[in-house]
Amino acid sequence: VNEVSGDDTVESAYRVMEFKTAAYTVARPLELGARMAGAPAALLDDLRSVGHDLGIAFQLRDDLLGVFGDPDRTGKPSGDDLAEGKRTALLALGLERAELRDPRSAAVLRDAVGRRLDDHELNRIRELLVDVGAVEEIERRVTALLDAAVARLERAEIGTDIRADLIAMAGRIAHREA
């Protein structure tokens, strides 16, 4: 959607994550499983919230892996999201911050979108994303989302073993390497 419209704002990237990735990756599967088990409404609300937060964290981690990931672990070339023109939250945040710091850096980032990059160009884009603080901010957001999900799970009316399993799953989602 964002690729077609060319909308590279942070808000737009989050909108896509909320309505697409968060829902189908984590929130709906958790909710469906809980419904099938006959969970009460309050637990469904807790799991829906947990699923939303973890779904966003999952996608933010995916954004990072799309630029910085090891192709042997992710199964796709590093920089592939850029080549495919994906308007990720990482890219949007990088552009937003680069525009404020140095519009030339923002132009370099924009130029990288939608084309295959050689190793030198990809390294330059990685450096820019780190230098403007986009990577650090995405990591901070992943941590905050994970913390919120775990706090909600700790308060939820579920068994100790189920809670431990869900908290472990949450950590794997937020800190995955592939």
Confidence at residue 6, expressed as pLDDT on a 0 to 100 scale: 58
Q: Residue 113 carries which side chain, given as an amino acid letter?
A: V
Q: How confident is the model at residue 2 (pLDDT cuts 50, 70, 90)?
A: very low
Confidence at residue 97, expressed as pLDDT on a 0 to 100 scale: 97
113's tokens: 């979108």
134's tokens: 């986009």
Local structure of residue 37 (DSSP, 8 states) = T
83-137 per-position pLDDT tens digit:
999 999 999 999 999 999 999 999 999 999 999 999 999 999 999 999 999 999 9
Confidence at residue 25, expressed as pLDDT on a 0 to 100 scale: 87
72's tokens: 């042997």
**Higher pLDDT pick, 78 / 138:** 138
Confidence at residue 8, expressed as pLDDT on a 0 to 100 scale: 79
Does the pLDDT value for residue 4 go beyond 60? no
Provide the percentage of residues in the chain whose pLDDT is more than 90.
Answer: 86
- What is the distance of C-alpha 115 from the center of its chain? 22
Give CA separation, 14 vs 89, 118, 151, in Å: 7, 29, 22
Q: What angle do CA 75, 78, 23 make, to 5 degrees?
A: 65
Measuring CA to CA, which residue among 78, 21, 89 is closest to residue 55?
21
32-49 per-position pLDDT tens digit:
999 999 999 999 999 999
Q: Helical H runs in the chain?
A: 2-5, 10-16, 28-36, 41-68, 71-74, 80-83, 89-101, 103-112, 119-131, 134-155, 160-174
Round the average pLDDT of the chain to a whole number and report it: 93
Confidence at residue 21, expressed as pLDDT on a 0 to 100 scale: 79
Dihedral sign from CA coordinates of 105, 108, 110, 116: negative
Confidence at residue 172, expressed as pLDDT on a 0 to 100 scale: 97
